[in-house]
């Protein structure tokens, strides 16, 4: 149980391209999903918290217009990296928390490796 699917797993594209990453909870409903960025041998850095049906909450220093988040249903959140540049290359990971309680653990997708040429 508690499976989170993230697609695509890897993206390589040219500078200036916008890239959309999907995060789906497959066997539970998630009112809250989270988007993280992880650099090599570093821990996860929270970028934003996505709440179903409302605007995402971004962490300090994360550009809202660069990283667009949509959480249109209880099972799907998307992160769009707009006009991506080489410095946006990273490992992006989403997580989802079951709507049954705030103490429920976050369950993570397998990440998206984004490479901007």
Nearest distance in Å: CB 91, other proteins: 8
Nearest distance in Å: CB 1, other proteins: 11
Q: Which is nearer to other proteins, 94 or 116 (CB)?
A: 94
Q: Which is nearer to other proteins, 5 or 82 (CB)?
A: 5
By the 10 Å C-beta count (0-12 exposed, 13-18 middle, 19+ buried), 102 is classed as: exposed
Nearest distance in Å: CB 36, other proteins: 9
Residues within the interface to other proteins (CB under 8 A): 2, 4, 6, 32, 34, 41-44, 46, 49, 57, 91, 93-95, 97, 102-103, 105-111, 113
3-state SS record for 35-84? EEEECCCCCEEEEEEEECCCCCEECCCCCCCCEEEEEEECCEEEEEECCC
**Quick one: which of 33, 37, 91 has its CA closest to 63?**
37
Q: Which is nearer to other proteins, 66 or 113 (CB)?
A: 113
Q: Which is nearer to other proteins, 14 or 53 (CB)?
A: 53
Q: What is the three-class DSSP state of 108?
A: strand
């Amino acid at each position: 149980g508690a499976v989170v699917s993230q697609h695509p797993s890897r993206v390589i594209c040219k500078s200036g391209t916008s890239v959309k990453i999907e995060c789906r909870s497959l066997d539970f409903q998630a009112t809250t999903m989270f988007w993280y960025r992880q650099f090599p041998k570093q821990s996860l850095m929270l970028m934003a918290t996505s709440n179903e049906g409302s605007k995402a909450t971004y962490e300090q220093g994360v550009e809202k217009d660069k990283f667009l988040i949509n959480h249109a249903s209880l099972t799907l959140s998307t992160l769009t990296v707009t006009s991506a540049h080489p410095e946006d290359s990273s490992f992006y990971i989403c997580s989802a928390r079951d709507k049954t309680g705030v103490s429920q653990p976050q369950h993570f997708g397998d990440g998206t490796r984004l490479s901007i040429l």
